[in-house]
Amino acid sequence: MTAVLRDTWVIARRDLTHWRQQPWGVVINTLFPVMIALMFGGLFGGAIGEGYFDYLMPGMFALTMFFGVEATMTAVSSDAQKGVTDRFRSLPMSSGGVVAGRCLADMMGSVLGLVVMAIAGMLLGWGWHNGMLQALAAFALLLWLRFALLWVGIFLGLTVKGPESVSMVQILVWPIGFLSGIFVDPATMPSWLGVIAQWNPLSATAAAARDLFGNPGAITGSREIILAIAWPLLLTAVFLPLSVRKYRSLGG
């Protein structure tokens, strides 16, 4: 166990060092969701009415967690193509520690991104109304979603081959993210589309966050919170072992 923890920190520190040496990538990835929030808040806010930012921001928090799949996948795929992953495999390092190190570093980046988004939201007039404990629970659910999606990104990064495959997967991020309850209530969509949007894991986390924050559009009840816990649990149970197994099989 000590060796796994040591290897996890070695990989995480390597990624954090890269971010310090190339800060512009981190800045752009952190501020991009803020730009999306400003753009969609300006586009839809006037049509939907006052208080739209209060509805929008919990969804944007969930979308920020989802955008991390792309960054994780690209970084893992780049390491594999450059032979960095093969060098790790040739060293006496735990395979679980290598992928967990990537996960730890990206979770640190996700916390930073969530803090920046929360500050931007408060500057735009968003806030929580149910107390600090429930707000912290909402942020915990958002990071729980990010943790699960990290393993999806790691698995995809180890699986896809070449920049063309990476680009194809990146394109899918947008329709999956937008076909949800992030920007508008699924009840306003055509019935078949609303059903798909309601079962999107992003919708469950966004709805649960609105409920805990006390923001407009919240649906009182435990269903959304249960789904916000269950979806990431299912994704983690599937993609965490797949990621470790895929790493071990590389080059085999």
State pLDDT tens for residues 57-66.
999 999 999 9
pLDDT band at 25 (very low <50, low <70, confident <90, very high): confident
92-109 pLDDT, tens digit each: 777 777 878 888 889 998
Cα torsion 87, 91, 96, 97: sign: negative
Distance, CA of 159 to CA of 215 (rounded, Å): 39
pLDDT band at 45 (very low <50, low <70, confident <90, very high): low
Question: Quick one: tokens of 196?
Answer: 């798909």
16-20 — which CB contacts under 8 Å span 24+ positions?
Answer: 16/105, 16/108, 19/105, 19/109
Per-residue pLDDT at 224: 84
Instruction: Tell me how far CA of residue 226 lies from CA of 141, 154, 197, 204, 222, in angstroms.
Output: 10, 25, 17, 9, 6
Model pTM score: 0.89
Residue identified by tokens 């078949």 is: 192
Widest distance between CA atoms in the chain? 59
Residues in the chain: 252
DSSP state of 83: T
204-250 pLDDT, tens digit each: 999 999 999 998 765 655 788 899 999 999 999 999 989 888 887 87
| Highest mean pLDDT out of 28-32, 182-186, 205-209 | 205-209
Domain boundaries, the chain: 2-13+22-249
